[in-house]
Chain A
Amino acid sequence: SAVISQKPSRDICQRGTSLTIQCQVDSQVTMMFWYRQQPGQSLTLIATANQGSEATYESGFVIDKFPISRPNLTFSTLTVSNLSPEDSSIYLCSVEVQEKLFFGSGTQLSVL
Chain B
Amino acid sequence: KNEVEQSPQNLTAQEGEFITINCSYSVGISALHWLQQHPGGGIVSLFMLSSGKKKHGRLIATINIQEKHSSLHITASHPRDSAVYICAVFTGNQFYFGTGTSLTVIP
Q: Which residues of A contact B (CB under 8 A)?
A: 33, 41-45, 48, 56, 58, 92, 94, 96, 99-106
State the main secondary structure of chain B at its contact with A: strand
Compute how far the CA of A96 lies from the CA of B45 in the bound complex, rounded to whole angstroms. 10
For residue B25, CB closer than 8 A to chain A, the reply is: no
Count, chain B residues at interface, CB 8 A: 20
Please state if A101 and B100 are interface contacts (CB–CB under 8 Å).
no
With A42-B86, A105-B42, A106-B42 as contacts: A100 and B48 at CB distance below 8 Å: yes
Nearest CB in chain B: distance from A76 CB, A: 16
Q: Which residues of B contact A (CB under 8 A)?
A: 31, 33, 35, 42-45, 48, 84, 86, 88, 90, 93-100
Could you say which residues of chain B place their CB within 8 Å of the CB of A43? 43, 86, 88, 97
Contact of B97 among A42, A56, A106 (CB under 8 A): A42
Residue of A43, A44, A106 ringed by the most chain B CB atoms within 10 A: A43
With A41-B99, A42-B99 as contacts: A103 and B42 at CB distance below 8 Å: yes
Could you say which residues of chain B place their CB within 8 Å of the CB of A41? 99-100
Residue of B31, B42, B90, B94 ringed by the most chain A CB atoms within 10 A: B42
With A48-B94, A101-B35 as contacts: A42 and B45 at CB distance below 8 Å: no
